[in-house]
Amino acid sequence: MKKAIKSLDEFAVVAAEIERFPREMDRIDAFCECVLSPEAVPASLLSGDPFSVAYREACKDFLGSISGGENYSPEVSERSDFLDGFSGDHYVPSVYRYEDSRMLGDSFSAAGSILQIMNVRKGDSVLEYGAGDGQISLALARMGCDVWVIDIDERYLEIIQRQAKALGVNINTVKGLFGDGIDGKQFDRVLFYEAFHHSLDHAHVLARLRSVVKPDGKILLAGEPVIPQNDYWRQIVPFAWGPRLDGLSLRAMRNYGWCELGFQREYFVERMMRSGWLVKFTKCHATARGDIYVAEQYGDAVNVADPSYVIESSAGDDGWYPGEGNARWTRGSASIGIDDSRRTESIELTLHNFLPIDRNVTIARGECLEKIKIRAGRAQPVIVGASDAGRLSIQCDQIRISDVIRGSTDDRSVGVAVSLLKYIGPSRCIVNRPNRQSETLVR
């Protein structure tokens, strides 16, 4: 367990002691062993609506109390005042200047994971936001990709151009903000590597990216502090999202004024879905810096059954089981995020009852409420009217599969199975009739 720091004043004392250590890696290790206690966190972050403007403003205020500054803005706060090596004729990439093979190995492992999952070829277009000194973008340029970099700090862009010139490759660099586009150009891949968590208004960024990424393109969010339930690191993000409480992140916010967010995974996934993106997750077993969430635009329909997609919600209900190809079970009550840009449309939800008994299901979307009975072994589409609500909730009492199917070894407690969510326009009627026999989805 990490050393608990009860207040920001106490952290200032501890930080002063750690900064006296002679080696940077020793300082990093020591800061990683500290965590700010939740009692120092504003109550509005521990209980507020994480999708609200008020919550974002509370995060901004808390960030200001950590950094000692006011009126956070990425144009000013995200600049780097320590760009050592910039003035020299020969630039040494920052990862080598730690003089520690652990950091070097972490970086190489993460880069390998990103390049493999990115799956691009010569001529493909890639945009990287917040690339730092640009090592991954340089590698992509060397293999022939059409590479663009957007960063708020023009000094990093100059560093990238110096390296590109030395390597004899071309990279296009533009000073700008996350979500900015390039004159209507759309990209095959958009990369954030340890960068997306610097975005305080990340909902706005995700909405803007829909016009930056090609319809069949992907966003890669690599090395981001997205923390699943019951994970050891949950202690540094005890709220849906906000400034991370570990010592290393507090140091960066305090010393440089950066925004260092962390996300609970159920919020992160729902936020992505509300912004029109479905996510897949790939674990890098060598280093968490190589963990990658790949986001795809989902258009008119969400294939809830697809086991490769992560579907979670911060509603605090029972949640979902993994998809099984033809459907995905709820654990009882479960919720799913609704695209913010399509709240005026009705939704058709395809439900399945794979059990030998009838099931009562309630579907809620804001004030729209539909109650239905699904006959044993049947599939049924249900249409739910338009609403300003950001999520759709499904309620079905839990039942253990092995209790109702003789001889089954499947001891899961389930609600109802769902295969498809589809946006269909303004209709508000409900279709309450079975349309086909459901195939088995029990073990």
Write out pLDDT tens, residues 234-257: 999 999 999 999 999 999 999 999
Helix ranges (DSSP H) in 257-396:
265-274
> What integer is the mean pLDDT of 394-417?
97
Residue extent(s) of CATH 2.60.120 domains in the chain = 302-437
Distance CA 249, CA 233 (A): 13
Report, as an integer, the average pLDDT of 69-91: 73
Residue among 309, 389, 302, 374 at smallest CA distance from 343: 389
How far is it, in rounded angstroms, from Cα 163 to Cα 135? 9
- 43-56 pLDDT per residue, tens: 999 999 999 999 99
Average pLDDT, the chain: 93
* CA 351 vs CA 109, 123, 135, 375, 382: distances in Å: 42, 43, 47, 11, 8
* DSSP secondary structure letter of residue 79: -
Q: Find, among 214, 230, 303, the residue nearest to 264 by Cα.
A: 230
pLDDT value of position 133? 94
The domain over range 302-437 is classified in CATH as 2.60.120: yes
Residues facing residue 190 across a β-bridge: 127, 219
All residues at 6 or more sequence positions from 418 whose CB lies less than 8 Å from its CB, including other chains: 304, 305, 327, 328, 330, 349, 350, 351, 352, 394
Q: Which of 174-183, 208-217, 378-387, 423-432 has the lowest mean pLDDT?
A: 423-432
Which tokens sit at 364? 């809620």
What are the residue ranges of CATH 3.40.50.150 in the chain?
A: 73-297
How many whole angstroms separate alpha carbon 389 and alpha carbon 366? 5
User: Which DSSP category does 412 fall into?
Assistant: -
The predicted pLDDT at position 425 comes to 84
Identify the weakest region by mean pLDDT among 59-63, 99-103, 310-314, 405-409. Answer: 99-103
Report CA torsion sign: 11, 197, 164, 158.
negative
d(CA 19, CA 12): 11
Distance (Å, rounded) from C-alpha 293 to C-alpha 119?
14
> Which pLDDT does position 442 carry in this prediction?
44
pLDDT > 70: percent of the chain? 94
Could you write out the DSSP letters of every residue in 236-263?
A: G--SSEEE--BHHHHHHHHHH----EEE
**168-180: average pLDDT:** 98
Domain 73-297 bears CATH identifier 2.60.120.260: no
Predicted local confidence at residue 281, as pLDDT: 98
pLDDT surpassing 90 at residue 91: no
Cα–Cα–Cα angle for 60, 62, 67, rounded to 5 degrees: 90
| Degrees, nearest 5: CA angle 278-223-331 | 45
Q: Burial, 25: exposed, middle or buried (Cβ in 10 Å; 0-12, 13-18, 19+)? A: middle
Q: Is the pLDDT of residue 286 over 70?
A: yes
Closest-CA residue to 419 (of 335, 355, 373, 351): 351
**Is the distance from CB of 265 to CB of 312 less than 8 angstroms?**
yes
Straight-line distance from the first to the last Cα atom of the chain, in angstroms, rounded to the nearest whole number = 39
- Indicate the length of the chain as a whole number: 443
Residue with tokens 């399945």: 352
Write out the two tokens for 288.
């968490």
Type of residue numbered 273: M
CA 418 to chain centre: 23
Question: Which tens digits make up the pLDDT trace of 115-171?
Answer: 999 999 999 999 999 999 999 999 999 999 999 999 999 999 999 999 999 999 999
Q: In this structure, are residues 422 and 431 in contact, taking their beta carbons and an 8 Å threshold?
A: no
Residue 316 in this model has a pLDDT that exceeds 60:
yes
